[in-house]
Amino acid sequence: MRRAQFRFLYFLYLLNLLYFLFACHQPPPSKITIGSKFFTEQVILAELLAQHIESKTGIPVERKTNLGGTLLVHKALEAGQLDLYVEYTGTALTAVLNESPQGDSNAVYQRVKQLYSDRFHFEVTEPLGFENTFAMVIRGDDAKKLHLQKISDIAPLASKWRVGVGYEFLERSDGFRGWSDRYNLRFAETSKVMDLGLIYRALVDHQVDIVAGNSTDGLIDFLGLVALEDDRHYFPPYDAVPIVRQSTLEQFPQLRPALADLAGKLSAADMRRLNYAVDAQHQDVAAVVRAFRASHGL
Protein backbone atom coordinates (compact mmCIF):
# COMPACT_ATOMS: atom_id res chain seq x y z
CA MET A 1 0.00 0.00 0.00
CA ARG A 2 2.77 2.40 0.96
CA ARG A 3 4.68 1.53 -2.19
CA ALA A 4 1.62 2.31 -4.30
CA GLN A 5 1.17 5.65 -2.53
CA PHE A 6 4.84 6.47 -3.05
CA ARG A 7 4.57 5.70 -6.77
CA PHE A 8 1.47 7.86 -7.07
CA LEU A 9 3.13 10.80 -5.30
CA TYR A 10 6.25 10.37 -7.39
CA PHE A 11 4.10 10.39 -10.53
CA LEU A 12 2.44 13.65 -9.39
CA TYR A 13 5.86 15.15 -8.72
CA LEU A 14 7.02 14.29 -12.24
CA LEU A 15 3.87 15.78 -13.74
CA ASN A 16 4.37 19.02 -11.81
CA LEU A 17 8.01 19.15 -12.81
CA LEU A 18 7.18 18.65 -16.48
CA TYR A 19 4.48 21.32 -16.31
CA PHE A 20 6.93 23.75 -14.68
CA LEU A 21 9.61 23.08 -17.28
CA PHE A 22 7.10 23.44 -20.11
CA ALA A 23 5.78 26.73 -18.71
CA CYS A 24 9.30 28.12 -18.32
CA HIS A 25 10.10 27.35 -21.94
CA GLN A 26 6.94 28.72 -23.47
CA PRO A 27 7.82 31.03 -26.35
CA PRO A 28 7.15 34.72 -25.75
CA PRO A 29 3.96 36.17 -27.23
CA SER A 30 4.19 36.47 -31.00
CA LYS A 31 1.83 39.43 -31.29
CA ILE A 32 1.30 42.84 -29.77
CA THR A 33 -1.94 44.28 -28.42
CA ILE A 34 -2.99 47.85 -29.11
CA GLY A 35 -5.72 49.53 -27.09
CA SER A 36 -7.77 52.70 -27.15
CA LYS A 37 -10.01 54.83 -25.01
CA PHE A 38 -13.74 55.09 -25.57
CA PHE A 39 -14.10 57.63 -28.37
CA THR A 40 -13.79 57.71 -32.15
CA GLU A 41 -10.41 59.40 -32.47
CA GLN A 42 -8.79 56.83 -30.21
CA VAL A 43 -10.21 53.95 -32.23
CA ILE A 44 -8.90 55.54 -35.43
CA LEU A 45 -5.43 56.04 -33.96
CA ALA A 46 -5.30 52.46 -32.67
CA GLU A 47 -6.20 51.22 -36.14
CA LEU A 48 -3.59 53.49 -37.73
CA LEU A 49 -0.86 52.09 -35.49
CA ALA A 50 -2.05 48.54 -36.02
CA GLN A 51 -2.15 48.73 -39.82
CA HIS A 52 1.20 50.48 -40.01
CA ILE A 53 2.92 48.00 -37.68
CA GLU A 54 1.49 44.99 -39.50
CA SER A 55 2.52 46.45 -42.85
CA LYS A 56 6.05 47.48 -41.87
CA THR A 57 7.05 44.69 -39.49
CA GLY A 58 4.77 41.70 -40.11
CA ILE A 59 4.02 41.52 -36.38
CA PRO A 60 0.40 40.40 -35.84
CA VAL A 61 -1.61 43.00 -33.93
CA GLU A 62 -4.63 42.44 -31.72
CA ARG A 63 -6.98 45.43 -31.40
CA LYS A 64 -8.68 46.15 -28.06
CA THR A 65 -10.54 49.39 -28.64
CA ASN A 66 -13.20 51.38 -26.77
CA LEU A 67 -11.87 50.11 -23.44
CA GLY A 68 -12.82 53.13 -21.32
CA GLY A 69 -11.20 56.23 -19.85
CA THR A 70 -7.59 57.26 -19.37
CA LEU A 71 -6.85 55.52 -16.09
CA LEU A 72 -8.42 52.23 -17.15
CA VAL A 73 -6.33 52.06 -20.33
CA HIS A 74 -3.21 53.13 -18.43
CA LYS A 75 -3.76 50.34 -15.89
CA ALA A 76 -4.20 47.82 -18.70
CA LEU A 77 -0.82 48.89 -20.10
CA GLU A 78 0.77 48.56 -16.65
CA ALA A 79 -0.71 45.08 -16.23
CA GLY A 80 0.65 43.93 -19.59
CA GLN A 81 -2.83 43.48 -21.06
CA LEU A 82 -1.85 46.08 -23.65
CA ASP A 83 1.49 46.82 -25.31
CA LEU A 84 0.71 50.17 -26.86
CA TYR A 85 -1.83 52.98 -27.10
CA VAL A 86 -1.97 56.68 -27.96
CA GLU A 87 -2.09 59.19 -25.10
CA TYR A 88 -2.10 62.99 -24.96
CA THR A 89 0.76 64.68 -23.12
CA GLY A 90 -1.37 67.05 -21.04
CA THR A 91 -3.60 64.17 -20.02
CA ALA A 92 -0.60 62.05 -19.06
CA LEU A 93 0.84 64.86 -16.94
CA THR A 94 -2.34 65.85 -15.10
CA ALA A 95 -4.59 62.77 -14.99
CA VAL A 96 -1.94 60.04 -14.65
CA LEU A 97 1.07 61.74 -13.05
CA ASN A 98 -1.00 64.25 -11.04
CA GLU A 99 1.33 67.12 -11.86
CA SER A 100 0.51 70.71 -12.70
CA PRO A 101 1.51 71.59 -16.26
CA GLN A 102 4.36 74.04 -16.70
CA GLY A 103 6.16 75.20 -19.81
CA ASP A 104 5.47 74.77 -23.48
CA SER A 105 4.55 71.72 -25.53
CA ASN A 106 8.11 70.37 -25.62
CA ALA A 107 8.62 70.87 -21.87
CA VAL A 108 5.44 68.90 -21.10
CA TYR A 109 6.46 66.16 -23.55
CA GLN A 110 9.94 65.81 -22.05
CA ARG A 111 8.55 65.71 -18.51
CA VAL A 112 6.05 63.00 -19.40
CA LYS A 113 8.68 61.02 -21.31
CA GLN A 114 11.06 61.03 -18.32
CA LEU A 115 8.47 60.19 -15.66
CA TYR A 116 6.78 57.45 -17.69
CA SER A 117 10.14 55.78 -18.14
CA ASP A 118 11.10 56.12 -14.47
CA ARG A 119 7.78 55.12 -12.92
CA PHE A 120 6.18 52.72 -15.35
CA HIS A 121 8.95 51.51 -17.71
CA PHE A 122 6.96 52.89 -20.64
CA GLU A 123 8.50 54.67 -23.60
CA VAL A 124 6.81 57.80 -24.89
CA THR A 125 7.68 57.83 -28.57
CA GLU A 126 7.68 60.74 -31.02
CA PRO A 127 4.50 62.87 -31.27
CA LEU A 128 2.20 62.07 -34.18
CA GLY A 129 2.03 65.73 -35.17
CA PHE A 130 -1.23 67.10 -33.78
CA GLU A 131 -2.75 68.31 -30.53
CA ASN A 132 -6.24 67.45 -29.32
CA THR A 133 -7.16 69.88 -26.57
CA PHE A 134 -10.46 70.24 -24.77
CA ALA A 135 -12.82 72.47 -26.75
CA MET A 136 -15.63 74.37 -25.07
CA VAL A 137 -18.27 74.28 -27.78
CA ILE A 138 -21.50 76.25 -28.28
CA ARG A 139 -24.15 76.45 -30.99
CA GLY A 140 -23.15 78.54 -33.99
CA ASP A 141 -26.37 80.54 -33.80
CA ASP A 142 -25.60 81.54 -30.21
CA ALA A 143 -22.05 82.52 -31.12
CA LYS A 144 -23.31 84.77 -33.89
CA LYS A 145 -26.30 86.26 -32.08
CA LEU A 146 -24.48 86.91 -28.81
CA HIS A 147 -21.08 87.80 -30.34
CA LEU A 148 -19.25 85.01 -28.51
CA GLN A 149 -15.69 84.14 -29.51
CA LYS A 150 -13.78 83.51 -26.27
CA ILE A 151 -14.57 81.50 -23.16
CA SER A 152 -14.42 84.68 -21.06
CA ASP A 153 -17.29 86.07 -23.18
CA ILE A 154 -19.76 83.65 -21.62
CA ALA A 155 -19.23 84.71 -17.97
CA PRO A 156 -22.31 87.00 -17.91
CA LEU A 157 -24.44 84.21 -19.43
CA ALA A 158 -23.29 81.22 -17.41
CA SER A 159 -25.87 81.59 -14.65
CA LYS A 160 -28.59 80.81 -17.21
CA TRP A 161 -26.71 78.14 -19.14
CA ARG A 162 -26.57 74.37 -18.78
CA VAL A 163 -23.29 72.57 -19.39
CA GLY A 164 -22.69 69.03 -20.67
CA VAL A 165 -19.46 67.13 -20.05
CA GLY A 166 -17.97 63.66 -20.20
CA TYR A 167 -17.30 61.93 -16.90
CA GLU A 168 -13.54 62.26 -17.24
CA PHE A 169 -13.68 66.04 -17.77
CA LEU A 170 -15.80 66.39 -14.65
CA GLU A 171 -13.31 64.50 -12.49
CA ARG A 172 -9.91 65.48 -13.85
CA SER A 173 -7.64 68.08 -12.24
CA ASP A 174 -7.39 69.84 -15.62
CA GLY A 175 -11.14 69.58 -16.10
CA PHE A 176 -14.39 71.26 -15.12
CA ARG A 177 -13.66 72.60 -11.64
CA GLY A 178 -10.38 74.28 -12.51
CA TRP A 179 -11.76 75.55 -15.81
CA SER A 180 -14.87 77.13 -14.28
CA ASP A 181 -12.79 78.68 -11.48
CA ARG A 182 -10.25 80.14 -13.92
CA TYR A 183 -13.04 81.84 -15.88
CA ASN A 184 -15.24 82.58 -12.84
CA LEU A 185 -18.18 80.67 -14.32
CA ARG A 186 -21.21 79.68 -12.25
CA PHE A 187 -23.73 77.68 -14.23
CA ALA A 188 -27.46 77.34 -13.72
CA GLU A 189 -27.43 73.62 -12.97
CA THR A 190 -25.08 70.82 -12.03
CA SER A 191 -23.16 69.62 -15.06
CA LYS A 192 -24.90 66.95 -17.10
CA VAL A 193 -22.59 63.98 -17.54
CA MET A 194 -23.02 62.09 -20.80
CA ASP A 195 -21.28 59.84 -23.28
CA LEU A 196 -18.90 61.74 -25.55
CA GLY A 197 -20.63 60.29 -28.59
CA LEU A 198 -23.89 62.01 -27.59
CA ILE A 199 -22.60 65.31 -26.33
CA TYR A 200 -22.90 67.35 -29.55
CA ARG A 201 -26.36 66.03 -30.29
CA ALA A 202 -27.46 67.20 -26.84
CA LEU A 203 -26.11 70.66 -27.67
CA VAL A 204 -27.87 70.80 -31.04
CA ASP A 205 -31.12 69.63 -29.40
CA HIS A 206 -30.90 72.43 -26.79
CA GLN A 207 -30.62 70.00 -23.88
CA VAL A 208 -27.46 71.93 -22.87
CA ASP A 209 -25.93 75.25 -23.92
CA ILE A 210 -22.19 74.48 -23.84
CA VAL A 211 -20.24 71.22 -23.90
CA ALA A 212 -16.68 70.07 -23.28
CA GLY A 213 -15.66 68.44 -26.55
CA ASN A 214 -12.37 67.85 -28.34
CA SER A 215 -10.69 70.27 -30.73
CA THR A 216 -10.23 67.62 -33.44
CA ASP A 217 -13.84 66.42 -33.46
CA GLY A 218 -15.19 66.37 -37.01
CA LEU A 219 -18.75 67.01 -35.86
CA ILE A 220 -18.02 70.57 -34.67
CA ASP A 221 -17.94 71.98 -38.20
CA PHE A 222 -20.43 69.46 -39.56
CA LEU A 223 -23.10 70.53 -37.05
CA GLY A 224 -22.36 74.24 -37.35
CA LEU A 225 -20.93 74.53 -33.84
CA VAL A 226 -18.25 76.90 -32.56
CA ALA A 227 -15.29 76.13 -30.28
CA LEU A 228 -14.53 79.10 -28.01
CA GLU A 229 -10.99 80.40 -27.67
CA ASP A 230 -9.22 79.49 -24.42
CA ASP A 231 -8.18 83.11 -23.91
CA ARG A 232 -6.90 82.61 -20.36
CA HIS A 233 -4.79 79.61 -21.46
CA TYR A 234 -6.22 77.20 -18.95
CA PHE A 235 -5.62 73.97 -20.84
CA PRO A 236 -2.08 72.52 -21.15
CA PRO A 237 -0.63 71.10 -24.40
CA TYR A 238 -2.21 67.79 -25.41
CA ASP A 239 0.08 66.37 -28.09
CA ALA A 240 -0.85 62.88 -29.30
CA VAL A 241 1.96 60.38 -28.58
CA PRO A 242 2.17 56.59 -28.84
CA ILE A 243 3.13 55.00 -25.52
CA VAL A 244 4.64 51.52 -25.53
CA ARG A 245 5.93 49.14 -22.88
CA GLN A 246 9.75 49.01 -22.85
CA SER A 247 9.59 45.22 -22.57
CA THR A 248 7.62 45.14 -25.84
CA LEU A 249 10.28 47.22 -27.59
CA GLU A 250 12.93 44.81 -26.34
CA GLN A 251 10.98 41.82 -27.65
CA PHE A 252 10.18 43.47 -30.98
CA PRO A 253 13.06 45.83 -31.86
CA GLN A 254 11.56 46.42 -35.33
CA LEU A 255 8.65 48.18 -33.62
CA ARG A 256 10.69 51.30 -32.80
CA PRO A 257 11.47 52.38 -36.39
CA ALA A 258 7.89 51.56 -37.42
CA LEU A 259 6.54 53.96 -34.81
CA ALA A 260 9.15 56.55 -35.77
CA ASP A 261 7.72 56.44 -39.32
CA LEU A 262 4.52 58.03 -37.98
CA ALA A 263 6.20 60.95 -36.20
CA GLY A 264 4.76 64.26 -37.39
CA LYS A 265 2.64 62.56 -40.07
CA LEU A 266 -0.80 63.54 -38.75
CA SER A 267 -1.99 67.16 -38.57
CA ALA A 268 -4.98 68.46 -36.62
CA ALA A 269 -6.76 69.03 -39.95
CA ASP A 270 -6.04 65.40 -40.93
CA MET A 271 -7.47 64.18 -37.63
CA ARG A 272 -10.61 66.26 -38.02
CA ARG A 273 -11.15 64.81 -41.51
CA LEU A 274 -10.69 61.25 -40.23
CA ASN A 275 -13.07 61.84 -37.33
CA TYR A 276 -15.58 63.43 -39.70
CA ALA A 277 -15.43 60.45 -42.06
CA VAL A 278 -16.28 58.05 -39.23
CA ASP A 279 -18.66 60.14 -37.11
CA ALA A 280 -20.54 62.10 -39.78
CA GLN A 281 -20.22 59.93 -42.87
CA HIS A 282 -20.33 56.62 -40.96
CA GLN A 283 -17.44 55.12 -42.90
CA ASP A 284 -15.64 52.02 -41.67
CA VAL A 285 -12.65 52.85 -39.47
CA ALA A 286 -10.29 50.35 -41.10
CA ALA A 287 -11.19 51.59 -44.59
CA VAL A 288 -10.72 55.23 -43.58
CA VAL A 289 -7.29 54.47 -42.16
CA ARG A 290 -6.23 52.48 -45.24
CA ALA A 291 -7.19 55.39 -47.48
CA PHE A 292 -5.27 57.84 -45.28
CA ARG A 293 -2.14 55.68 -45.29
CA ALA A 294 -2.29 55.28 -49.06
CA SER A 295 -2.70 59.02 -49.65
CA HIS A 296 0.24 59.82 -47.35
CA GLY A 297 2.60 57.15 -48.65
CA LEU A 298 2.55 55.17 -45.43
Q: Rounded to two decimals, what is the model's pTM?
A: 0.84
Confidence of residue 251 (pLDDT cuts 50, 70, 90): very high
Contacts 24+ apart (CB under 8 A), 99-106: 100/173, 101/174, 101/236, 101/237, 104/237, 105/131, 105/237, 105/239
pLDDT of res. 16: 53
Q: Give 196's pLDDT tier (boundaries 50, 70, 90).
A: confident
pLDDT for 9 beyond 70: no
What fold characterizes domain 32-131+237-295?
Answer: D-Maltodextrin-Binding Protein; domain 2 (3.40.190)
Average pLDDT over residues 29-37: 90
pLDDT per residue over 36-82, tens digit each? Answer: 999 999 999 999 999 999 999 999 999 999 999 999 999 999 999 99
Range scoring the smallest mean pLDDT among 28-42, 76-90, 144-158, 272-286: 28-42
Which pLDDT score, from 0 to 100, does residue 148 have? 97
Amino acid at 152: S
pLDDT of 192 > 70? The answer is yes
Task: Answer yes or no: are the C-beta atoms of 73 and 37 closer than 8 Å.
Answer: yes
- Domain limits of the chain? 32-131+237-295, 134-227
From the DSSP assignment, how many helices (H) and strands (E) are in the chain? 14, 10
Share of the chain above pLDDT 90, in %: 82
**Backbone torsion region of residue 260, taken as left when φ is above 0, otherwise alpha when ψ lies between -120 and 50, otherwise beta:** alpha
The whole-number pLDDT of residue 7 equals: 54
Q: φ, ψ for residue 182 (rounded to 5)?
A: -60, -35
Torsion of CA 209, 133, 119, 258, to 10 degrees: 130
Give ∠ CA 142-145-151 in degrees, rounded to 5.
Answer: 55
Mean pLDDT of the chain: 90
Give Cα separations from 179 to 141, 226, 235 (angstroms): 24, 18, 8
- Long-range CB contacts (within 8 A, 24+) of 191-196: 191/163, 191/164, 191/165, 192/162, 192/163, 192/164, 192/165, 193/164, 193/165, 193/166, 193/167, 194/164, 194/165, 194/166, 195/166, 196/38, 196/39, 196/166
- State which fold the 134-227 domain adopts: D-Maltodextrin-Binding Protein; domain 2 (3.40.190)
The answer to whether the CB of 67 falls within 8 A of the CB of 73 is yes
Burial class of 289 by CB neighbour count within 10 A (0 to 12, 13 to 18, 19+):
buried
> Are the beta carbons of 88 and 172 closer than 8 angstroms?
no
What is the C-alpha R_g of the chain? Answer: 24
- Predicted confidence band of residue 102 (pLDDT cuts 50, 70, 90): confident
**pLDDT of residue 25 exceeding 70:** no
Binning pLDDT at 50, 70 and 90, where does residue 89 land? very high
268 pLDDT band, cuts 50/70/90, is very high
Q: In terms of pLDDT, which residue wins out, 121 or 196?
A: 121
Residues 6+ apart with CB under 8 A from 1: none
32-131+237-295 matches 134-227 in fold: yes
CA distance 274 to 139: 22
